[in-house]
Structure 1
């Protein structure tokens, strides 16, 4: 999966999205903070490949993108919108292929701009990035080639507080950054830095009015933070080999960035620091039970302003959830199986 798969919907309910066989499933709270419903298939009965990208707009709607098989040896991208967790999502809508036809070219990424338009990014056959964007009044613009070279799997898409869409992607020679200059225009390649990023470890977060921050693990095994226009900063050694999750939240009256990652020992590790003040330092604190090696973690903030964290193991289907206690610090309630 690519993107934050634990989200708070427009109605305040938390929901999770996960690939399951040749389908995508959604599980959601029956009421904010209440019990969870059973898994439901999203987007109808189309057969899908086991890949999913999730984007979440300021309007609370979830945008889901996957690949589906078309003819022998070829695939096409599909998109669905989920307006509220307890409603049925729209049927999968075909988006085509960044090179008109062919097999899967990479894991997509999705960001949603201030007007609720989804922007879908995916690596193309040439090794660059292609983008497809929704029109404000329905339908989709044509595919656009955003350039780039030797782009690796799982680019990270994000929408800044300005409502402008940005994209980060790793390549052998460094990290690339695209940004919209104004709403409704294609993002342009603005900056590239010489930095090594392990494939599949990129996560982007809006961290101020003017900035987004990219988190990634470098070849030395350190978790780094980069804001375009500055130099990358080493935060702390990565807790484990997989992707990091990040969310902005208020902790004891301070604007903080909370990070979470499955540790090498198998538990979830958390670290927090004042947003955009990496020099303040951060350190990991582990929580919860030992998880399967394929388990990932996702973070969000619930309707009451409390941090919520979930872990999901594709091999077992086990979903665990915790929330911050209503007390100072980052104390969490006991992890529970959903």
Structure 2
């Protein structure tokens, strides 16, 4: 593995227009607002030069540090992130580099403590090397021992589309899984064990996969994910933390590509969300239905919204509730809540705030209050927090913190 030395220092100035442009261009990661173990929230974004970060100065404070830029040479502009049971935040992205298979390679980095510099970006390879131009049969040579076989072109002979965004998935044993997809080839993953040793790439099938895999880790540390395709998805998971992934079934459902998200909504039970292509409304689905019940698609409104929804769980008026946040049809953040696993009660979506760039984000803060964040059209970070003095789910005013 290679490391980018010198890429961990943050440059202090980032043009807001560059952040807003990248967010509206689709580079916003799902779950880009995160709560650290010290109680401080951190928000993450992207721009053409690398990763951008804002950090609370103290738990619950309206004074934030940032935006800070962490440059990445060859940065492709998009990233995903996940947080493990230690509070470490893991990032995955793609960079362009001469000499890498297909000119690109997957990279990962870690933030071990809130507000601290990122660790080095390390290359983990590319499971989908480009096919070299074919030669006459008499001159064709077999791959050398140990050399990765290039993937075939599409049946039409046209080049395959670029790979989907890599996704990081840390399980409860300290292992880190990186998963990526490519239409016409499938989903593949590689695991770094807790001792730091990387294994080989593993094939998770799904030749007609579309978009990135959809990850979920339970509170017990068991990891699972969906491999999505047009008309449905395959469901993969661990029997226990640290075990190999195995195929658990397949679901049939129409979905807008790139709109999936997930949340653990009960002990070891994940609920997945996406948008229906008919009207953009939000659909919920639980692969692990309660005993005696069949998994069902559950509509949750939100028609006209775009992108994946943000999801959080909290108690509202004493009830365990699931809170959804979306970018609505007019570009405003919209929020809804319902009793957890009570999708049949329906939802009512309410606008909260002005137009935003990219997707808004949701998290709980150090006090357990629902906190929502958005990047405004000037590239600034705005935060609004739940008002615990009001019944129901009410928010205080938006505060521009960066």
Task: Decide whether the 8 Å contact of 2:40 with 2:58 is kept in 1.
Answer: yes
Aligned residue for 1:305?
368
**2:393 matched to 1:330?**
yes
Change in CA separation of 1:130 and 1:317 when aligned onto 2, cut-off 3 Å: same
**2:343 matched to 1:284?**
no
Task: Decide whether the 8 Å contact of 1:99 with 1:125 is kept in 2.
Answer: no
Give deviations 1:249-270, integer Å, cap 9, x for gaps. Answer: 1212211100010111221111
Q: Which residues in structure 2 correspond to 1:1-338 (within 5 Å)? A: 1-34=28-61, 35-42=63-70, 45-71=72-98, 74-99=103-128, 104-124=162-182, 126-221=184-279, 222-229=281-288, 230-292=295-357, 295-312=358-375, 316-327=378-389, 328-338=391-401
- Higher helix share goes to which structure? 2
RMSD: 1.9
- More moved, 112-121 vs 142-151: 112-121
Task: Decide whether the 8 Å contact of 2:326 with 2:335 is kept in 1.
Answer: yes
Normalization by structure 1: what TM-score? 0.93
Give deviations 1:194-242, integer Å, cap 9, x for gaps. Answer: 1111011000111111310000001112211000141211122435122
Task: Decide whether the 8 Å contact of 1:154 with 1:199 is kept in 2.
Answer: no
Shift of 1:61: 1.0
Q: Return the alpha-carbon distance in structure 1 between the equivalents of residues 175 and 238 of structure 2.
A: 13
Unpaired segments of 5 or more residues in structure 2?
A: 1-27, 132-160, 289-294
Q: Return the alpha-carbon distance in structure 1 between the equivalents of residues 380 and 116 of structure 2.
A: 23
The secondary structure found in structure 1 opposite 2:180 is strand
Give deviations 1:96-126, integer Å, cap 9, x for gaps. Answer: 1123568951112222211333221110364
Give deviations 1:69-91, integer Å, cap 9, x for gaps. Answer: 11175100000010112111101
Change in CA separation of 1:70 and 1:52 when aligned onto 2, cut-off 3 Å: same
- More moved, 6-15 vs 142-151: 142-151
Structure 1 runs of 4+ with >4 Å offset: 100-104
Higher relative contact order (CA 8 A, sep 6+): 2
In our comparison, the structure showing a higher alpha carbon Rg is 2
Unpaired segments of 5 or more residues in structure 1?
A: none
Shift of 1:156: 1.4
